[in-house]
Amino acid sequence: MEEIVISAEHDSASVAGCCYALKGMYPFVKLRRVGKSVLGREIIGAQIGSGEAPVLFCAGFHGSERVAGLLILRYFHHLCDAWQRHSEIAGVRARRALDGRALLVIPAVNPDGWEIALRGPAAATASPPLAAKIERLCGKDHAHWNANARGVDINHNFDAGWAAAQALERQHGIYGPSRTRYGGVSPESEPETAALAALCRSVPFAHALAFHSQGEEIYWNYGEHTPAKALRMAQIFASSSGYTLSEPEGIASHAGFKDWFIDEFHRPGFTIEVGRGTNPLPPESLDEIYARLEEMMTLAIIC
């Protein structure tokens, strides 16, 4: 396999560049321009397969969780190579796994946050007022930045129990832009959230997996619209990965992408918390996480 270097030190531009490179290497790959961030960075997805109800893998919601985006990008690369070579991935024939199916991956839902976590306020030089705000909010600790360039946490900005999430934010002393957990002025107020929601409304995804770090946990339910098969799927994923099925608690209980996907479409949605440790996880953790989850990601296409 001609290897594209996928490193935990990639910035969001090089992640987008990897998607374009994969398109050049594999003519069957389709690129989808999902939208743009607050600062105009491209949010891009890559698709393999032609099924009418694709599976969605998305990541990079939080700037300090880049390993999750690199994980799904690496998986997509290996899947494409297995398809082209008529070979296997995780012991399954790639062409059989994708027969009548498709996979769309979006490695960096929040490219501005990705950049801020790497470079601090310098990532927002295109907007001096935002750069100044970021500097006030994060000080010298930009490595733990999770929000977008306006200080809104994308995974708290979806319309699923958003009012309840706001109340929980206030209980935690969060009343405005922050490096993490602030849900914005209204659901889908942020271009990144609106772009992903619009994509999901236009494409009938069979199910969606949102990859975050860390904890080695799988979240699978949200309210009365959780389909019965979601638990069975989550149990399969847990058995394959060794991860634990969990229930969200406190401030993480509402307004996330997985919550909104389930509530909006009544289809299975999952949050996969990859790896274990303190974010941002070290670059060398990517290899171990990938080895452990390759089979689970393959099963997620087949289910």
5-25: per-residue pLDDT in tens?
A: 666 567 888 899 999 999 999
- Read off the pLDDT of residues 179-206 as tens digits, 9 standing for 90 and up: 999 999 999 999 999 999 999 999 999 9
- Read off the pLDDT of residues 137-163 as tens digits, 9 standing for 90 and up: 998 899 999 999 999 999 999 999 999
Per cent of the chain over pLDDT 90 is: 91
- Read off the pLDDT of residues 66-80 as tens digits, 9 standing for 90 and up: 999 999 999 999 999
Distance CA 259, CA 223 (A): 8
| Domain ranges, ordered by start, for the chain | 12-113+191-302
Average pLDDT along the chain: 95
Residue 11 has phi, psi (to 5 degrees) of: -90, 175
CATH number of 12-113+191-302: 3.40.630.10
Residues comprising the chain, all counted: 303
